[in-house]
């Protein structure tokens, strides 16, 4: 299933919101920053999935899971930078 730009924004928002619930801290907590963290997480998660030979995510749920993993990594990096 191929996602449109709006689909990826929705996936990004869901992944960013889920990562905000999992990762404690105060960095990137607004609506737009949550979407941005989620979209960046989707890019990072997709890259890591391909590099680790896990394949491309299939369907909406697979895209959300991959984006969530990437968004958690992005949010952890943001928290580490914000503490300095």
Q: Whole-model pTM?
A: 0.83
How many whole angstroms separate alpha carbon 8 and alpha carbon 38?
A: 9
Q: What does the DSSP 8-state code read for residue 57?
A: -
16-71 per-position pLDDT tens digit: 888 888 888 776 677 788 888 888 888 888 888 888 887 767 778 888 888 899 99
pLDDT class for 2, splitting at 50, 70, 90?
low
Please give the structure tokens belonging to residue 21.
Answer: 């619930």
Residue spans per domain, the chain: 5-83
pLDDT class for 1, splitting at 50, 70, 90?
low
């Amino acid at each position: 299933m191929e996602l449109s730009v709006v689909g990826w924004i929705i996936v990004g928002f869901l992944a960013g919101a889920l990562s905000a619930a999992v990762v404690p801290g105060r960095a990137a907590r607004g609506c737009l920053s949550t979407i941005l963290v989620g979209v960046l997480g989707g890019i990072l998660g997709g890259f890591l999935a391909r590099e680790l030979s896990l394949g491309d995510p299939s369907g909406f749920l697979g895209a959300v899971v991959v984006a969530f993993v990437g968004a958690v990594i992005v949010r952890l990096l943001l928290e580490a930078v914000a503490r300095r």
